[in-house]
Amino acid sequence: MSFNTCSINSQENPFIRDVEAVIGPSKTVMVYGYSGAWYTLVQKQLSAQGYEVLDYVMGCGPDKTVGTEEIEHLREGSTNKKICKNAITKIVLENVKRDAAGVPIIPLLFCAKYQGILNFTPQFDPSPKRSLTDSEINRIYKLIHFEDEKVREVTEKTIHFVCTERNSPNSFDLTGLKECSPPWEDKWKVKEPKNKSTGWREEFRNALKAFRAKNLPPSLDNNKLDG
């Protein structure tokens, strides 16, 4: 598997220095977040510095590649919410494969706060009124608590919730980026979803099982792949 490792001089750019402190040397990164946390500026500034920046478009079809490697497509649906959530699921699946191969994973920066403040009230109840970004956070939460231990481990390594900073409200350049805690409330952690979707989980399980079957040592029992 290929991995973008272009050279960037972080010593001359404090924003890039902050990014490297969060995600390490990876020069391929997925960026999501709230518009009020300026995730689009993060995307633009990273692209301008030579990073390969992935976004929700990766959820649209099977033709997205990182370097020369095509990322496996999961067919989840055609609505904007499903496409955006699908890309997150796909990057976790890709990172499970990368972890198994011993190569660097692709981090996901999720811009959740601006200037240290969460200026949003995430609505995690499963309803049509829930915002697209809240739906994305909902998917991340479910992956972090997925029944498969390796998926949980890789998701934790993949997702980085961050706070963005600017010197002034009129500036179009971000000057800092710091890791922050997930933007979900404690009470939501123990809440059972009213409408538990199973379609994406089943496809995700099948993709995991197929990958592990291909890479299974002959001495192991294929029936143990469902854990």
Q: For 36-93, what is each residue's pLDDT tens digit?
A: 888 999 999 999 999 999 988 887 766 566 654 667 777 766 788 888 898 999 999 9
- What stretch of H or E contains 205? helix 199-214
Nearest to 110 by CA among 53, 162, 151: 162
Q: Which amino acid is at 86?
A: N
Residue ranges per structural domain of the chain? 10-226
Interval 114-118 mean pLDDT? 77
DSSP type of residue 127 = S
- The answer to whether the CB of 84 falls within 8 A of the CB of 11 is no
Three-class DSSP category at 111: strand
What's the whole-model pTM score? 0.81
Angle among Cα 22, 116, 108 to the nearest 5 degrees reads: 30
Query: What was the pLDDT predicted at 3?
Result: 44
- What stretch of H or E contains 114? strand 108-114
pLDDT at 5 over 50: no
Q: For 155-192, what is each residue's pLDDT tens digit?
A: 999 999 999 988 776 666 788 899 988 877 655 555 54
Angstrom distance (rounded) from CA 155 to CA 94: 11
What is the pLDDT of the chain when averaged over all its residues? 79
- Give the pLDDT band of residue 23 (cuts 50, 70, 90): very high
Lookup result for tokens 């999961």: 74
Angstrom distance (rounded) from CA 120 to CA 92: 26
